[in-house]
Amino acid sequence: MSLVDELADAEARVEALKRAIRTGPCAEHGHDWQSDGGCNAGCDRAEDGDCGCSVPVNVCTKCGDCDYGDNPAAEDVRLSCRIRRAA
Ligand SMILES: [Zn+2]
Ligand SMILES: [Zn+2]
């Protein structure tokens, strides 16, 4: 193995360790989600493109992870949008 390969290997390991430390407590105890505003729901299948829905976005106070609107409240928004458009 060349030194360059060894360095790349070591760097990848450092990144993996950093990630493990950062998300460790969350992996064990769950994220501590805090509302961080909203973003476009991006409901697909809207005939006129953008339906203008917005969904809440949460950010974890511990690791800084973001759910990008992947949460139950957002699902509700998308569902009611679909129902409204189907009506
Ligand atoms: Zn977290
Ligand atoms: Zn929508």
Answering whether pTM is above 0.75, one says no
Query: Exposed (0-12), middle (13-18) or buried (19+): which is 55, by Cβ within 10 Å?
Result: buried
Task: Supply the range of the domain harboring residue 72.
Answer: 31-87
Q: Does residue 22 share a domain with residue 37?
A: no
Give the residue-averaged pLDDT of 27-47: 80
Q: Does residue 64 share a domain with residue 23?
A: no
Residue 45 C-alpha to ligand 2 middle, in angstroms?
Answer: 9
pLDDT in tens, 58-86: 999 888 889 988 899 999 998 998 898 88
> Beta strands of 1-65 (E only): which ranges?
33-40, 54-60
Token pair 């005939």 in the structure block, residue: 47
Residue 29 C-alpha to ligand 1 middle, in angstroms?
Answer: 9
Q: Does residue 73 share a domain with residue 87?
A: yes
- φ and ψ of 41, to 5 deg: -65, -25
Q: Counting ligands in written order, which one lies closest to the CA of residue 40?
A: 2
